[in-house]
Structure 1
Amino acid sequence: MNAENPTTAADTPPDVPVGRRPEDERLPFLTNLSYGVQHILAMFGGVIAVPLIIGGAAGLTPEQKAVLVAGCLFLSGIATMVQTIGFPGVGSQLPLVQGVSFATVATMLAIIGDDGTDGLRSAFGAIMVAGLVGLAAIPLFAKIVQLFPAVVTGSVITVIGLSLMPVAARWITGNEMITVDGEQVHNPEFGDVANIGIAMATLLLILVFSKIAKLTRVAILLGLVGGTIIAAIAGKINTSGLSGADVVGIPEPFAFGMPTFQAAAIISMIIAILVIMVETTADILAVGEVVETKVDTKRVSKGLRADMGASAIAPVFNAFPATAFAQNVGLVALTGIKSRFAVAAGGGVLIVLGLSPAAAAVVGMIPTPVLGGAGIALFGTVAASGIRTLTKVDYSGTTNMLVVAVSIAMGMVPVVSPHFWSGLPSWAGTILESGISSAAITAVLLNLLFNVWRPVEPSGMAMAAARARNVSDVEMRVLAEGGSFEAGQTVKVKSPAVDSSAGH
């Protein structure tokens, strides 16, 4: 990449008509469905975790938590289908799975506080307003795509994968501390050897299936199924969720009452929504790199509209803000299935799960260590995709190495030290506590500082003008050495050669 003329890596492939792009591949129905189920199993733990956390903070009953879970599944399915299929002005038409975002959890917990369902309704009101603000900001926000050359996208994609690794680890070991009777105590099951063994067995199955040519594309699905069977043999399956679950359950709009609107809650949620927009933009660019398709400002805008539109209507279905799931970007990279219609089929599965508590309970039986074993492969693949993008960067004679180093380091700070920014004002902490946002902001600013906002050396300006006049190679050498000449002047060159990197 030429640092003086940065280009978005996703812009490199030729622009081909809709219907002939890699992501437009159409597969047989059952093939689409199997790949779609694989996508949903890979992200299911994440999409149900948020409503369970928020429901617990709001003091909801198990039945009320089930309402939140069903609403989040239903909304995620709708948002996924809109994002993948696309409608006029909405949807990136990329293989992206949409799910409820972890980025807003801390903000929602702060809004809810000790107010129970009243606090939950305040959070819903803040989400609706913030989603609408996000929609209004898209025309300006989407223009940042031109600030994402390979040195930026590679750094951010790498951090996306690395920042997800603690999630996989917690799925395997559980949380070290748990709440019992309102007090934090050590989790006696933390780091259970049996759970670690199940996770490693799942990972091993995925590797074995990936080695078999005919099974590579469904390796994750088969690994999850195999891991679940192993967990069942080990007595690690919890079937309590199946008891009393309805076969069909239509989401009740505003099941917890009409939203309320409080200025402080709205402001804090707007900041969280901006973080989601940064993360979604990064995921759109990341999947564009993986699929090797063109991603421009228009496409980012459409993707963000699907994201923000889903977030704005989420409270109607008792759900929370949506975002693109990075682990599914890793699944696209790992399996090579680039078809957006396969992911759309997964969106249909999510809708069915949202309308059938019994079906959701069956999928929810997959133990978290099994998901963690798969997560190691998926999240590692996202990081590897970022590293692959970074190989396209020109490091010779530039400060790009420093841009990459500092960006990744800043992105990892909140991962290795979650409370690093706790002393900052809450709005700043919300932004910087996301490793993805920290990396993106750092990478964009450093790229602007070192590669865009820099003076052009006189010799470089002269050489550019000389190229336009088609001067001789001898004259170009003089210019490269910082010399000058008049039209028709005879020049003498002392050195027989000039470093080819001069003037670049």
Structure 2
Amino acid sequence: MTVRPEDVKLPLGRSFLYGLQHVLTMYGGIITVPLIVGQAAGLEPSKLAVLIASTLFVGGAATVLQSWGVPFIGSQLPLVQGVSFTGVATMLATLDGGGGLPAVFGSIIVAGLVGLVAATFFAKIIHFFPPVVTGVVITTIGLTLMPVAAGWAMGGNAKADDYGSTANIGLAFITFVIVIALSKVGVEAISRLSILIAIFIGTIVAGVLGMTDFSGVGEGAAVAGPGIFAFGAPTFKISAIISMVIVVLVTMTEATAGILAVGTVVRTKVDSKRIADGLRADMLSTTVAPVLNSFPQTAFAQNVGLVAITGVKSRFVVSAAGIIMLVLGLLPVLGQVVAAIPAPVLGGAGIVLFGTVAAAGIQTLAKVDYEGKGNMNLVIVGSSLGFGMIPIAAPTLYASLPAWFTTVFSSGISSAAVMAVVLNLLFNHLRASTPERQSACATGSAWPAG
């Protein structure tokens, strides 16, 4: 029997090394949401630490569930799970409304249950995600993450005095060069660990230059569990629940695209059953997360780039990453060490990782037929990519529009996904109104031969 690429098992030591590489890649992203929400809730440092540790613990458990899988739950793909950024604005609005963290957690529990019921329906729309759609979404994922890499390269904290300094950008560039150089090495083990090694070397360089701060390592309890409802029993506000349901539906759209994206990178079959299993894992994790003081869970897109650039497709490597996150959630001192890695180092590695995601999307788009009779695929791709780039180019464009609209379309990924699905449905499924001749947009964009 043929073994699926994602089912290949590597030696335990290598699995955890590759898994650590995944954790370092997404660590900055996974702790950002609890930092933002915790600070907005006015939490003191000790409580904020509980929120971050809980987020790591829940993300680790969700990652193991998604990648390892149990019957009907988990896509069994190399997908690292973490807190979704999509719900940040909604959670902040709930806090501003006086509901506090209990109201935030209550809305997530209800929305997660709604998503769990809706997972089977979402899985049935896979035929609306042909290469012309998935290629757009994967490309947009990579491009949308580029501002994240740039922010890290500049220092990570826009309010810091050295944000955007020559030193920060120089450190990011050094890390970038190290990743490229190690990727060129003929030794497979070194090439596949290029991100991890580059982050390690970059941190040493930062230490020599006086750009690291490990003074906070060792403060607080050595071992700390997440606790159950550490911030009080959940409360249920209708307005917060409705808003969070919309967030969860958007998250499910992005998760579906993420599952298809990693399936493309791994080159394995992804059908409606697998998507349903993956979405159930997402939604079950989201429902349970508030019990352990965390937020909505979804696949982290940046880790798709790591799978692509290293060629390590084993889901068990990602399960190892989940175990590492569980340990980080229980041992704050280890999390403090990881958190001390300078943001510019992560930025230098992120440029390669996120660019690789975009390149994988371009590879998919290269398979699309753009010249068939009555073919409007070029219009679909061009319009959807343009729509997806709007939140990056002009983040405040939708600021005056209704909240439900901004929740959906403030994300470049969901914007591109919605537009690509709608246009593909309009031009490639509802053929009655599609002209036999291409539009001027399609024909006029072709470069002349020679």
TM-score by length of 2: 0.93
**Do residues 415 (structure 1) and 388 (structure 2) align?**
no
1:70 aligned onto 2:53: yes
Q: Which residue of 2 aligns with 1:95?
A: 78
- The separation in 1 between residues aligned to 2:216 and 2:52, in whole angstroms, is 12
Amino acid at match of 2:191: T
Partner Cα separation in structure 2 for residue 174 and residue 433 of structure 1? 24
What is the alpha-carbon distance in structure 2 between the residues aligned to residue 202 and residue 30 of structure 1?
Answer: 25
Deviation at 1:402, TM superposition (A): 0.8
Structure 1 position 165, deviation (Å)? 0.5
- Is 2:292 aligned against 1:292? no
Equivalent of 2:287 in 312, 318, 321 = 312
Identify unmatched segments of 5+ residues in structure 1.
1-16, 179-186, 460-504
Compute the RMSD of aligned alpha carbons.
1.5
Aligned to 1:463: none
1:376 aligns with 2:357: no
Q: Is the 8 A contact 1:173 1:191 kept in 2?
A: yes
Q: Is the 8 A contact 1:58 1:114 kept in 2?
A: no
Aligned to 2:10: 27
| Match of residue 480 from structure 1 | none
Match of 1:358 among 326, 333, 349: 333
| Structure 1 residues 401 and 51, CA gap change in structure 2 (3 angstroms) | same
CA distance in 2, matches of 1:206, 1:160: 21
Match of 1:130 in 2: 111
Secondary structure (helix, strand or coil) at the match of 1:99 reads strand
Contact in 1 for aligned 2:156/2:344 (Cα 8 Å): no
How is 1:167-186 mapped onto 2 (pairs within 5 angstroms)?
A: 167-174=148-155, 178=159
Aligned mates of 2:101, 2:192 — CA distance in 1: 41
2:321 is the alignment partner of 1:346:
yes
The Cα shift of 1:176 comes to 8.0
Relative to the length of structure 1, the TM-score reads 0.84
1:101/1:25 Cα in 2 relative to 1: closer, same or farther (>3 Å)? Answer: same
Cα offset, 1:213, TM superposition: 2.3
Report the alpha carbon displacement of residue 119 of structure 1 after superposing the two structures with TM. 1.3
Contact 1:245–1:361 (8 Å) recurs in 2: no
| Aligned counterparts of 1:229 and 1:316: Cα–Cα separation in 2 | 39
Query: 2:7 and 2:227 mapped to 1: Cα distance?
Result: 35
Q: 1:176 to 1:225 in 2, by over 3 A?
A: closer
- CA shift in 2, pair 1:417/1:174, >3 Å: farther
- Quick check: 1:425 aligned with 2:402? yes
How far, CA to CA, are the matches of 2:145 and 2:197 in structure 1?
Answer: 22
Partner of 2:35: 52
CA offsets per residue over residues 206-241 of structure 1, 9 Å max, x none?
001100122111001101111111111111112233
Match of 2:134 in 1: 153
What CA distance in whole angstroms lies between the structure 2 residues aligned with 1:387 and 1:393?
10
Q: CA deviation at 1:175?
A: 6.5
**Bigger radius of gyration:** 1
Aligned-partner SS, 2:368: coil
Deviation sequence 1:6-55 (CA, Å, 0-9, x none): xxxxxxxxxxx6x7101000110001111001110111100111111111
> Is 1:279–2:254 an aligned residue pair?
yes
Contact preservation (8 Å) 2:155, 2:168: no
Deviations 1:175-207 (A, max 9, x none): 6853xxxxxxxx532211101011011111100
**Runs of 4+, deviation exceeding 3 Å:** 174-178
Q: Give 1:378 shift.
A: 0.6
Following superposition, the deviation at residue 174 of structure 1 comes to 4.1
How far apart, CA to CA, are the structure 2 residues paired with 1:280 and 1:129? 19
Shift of 1:128: 0.5
The Cα of 1:114 is off from its aligned counterpart by 6.6
Q: How does 1:206-245 map to 2 (within 5 A)?
A: 206-214=179-187, 215-245=190-220
TM-superposed CA distance for 1:248, in Å, is 1.2
Per mean C-alpha deviation after superposition, the further-off stretch among 397-406 and 299-308 is: 397-406
Q: Are 2:172 and 1:189 aligned?
A: no
Q: Give a deviation string over 1:131-190, Cα, whole Å, max 9, x none.
A: 001001111111121100000000010000000101111112246853xxxxxxxx5322
Q: Greater shift after overlay, 133-142 or 243-252?
A: 243-252
**Preserved CA contact (<8 Å) 2:156 2:343:** no
The question of whether the paired residues in 2 share the 8 Å contact of 1:247 and 1:359 is answered with no
Q: Give the structure 2 partner of residue 436 of structure 1.
A: 413
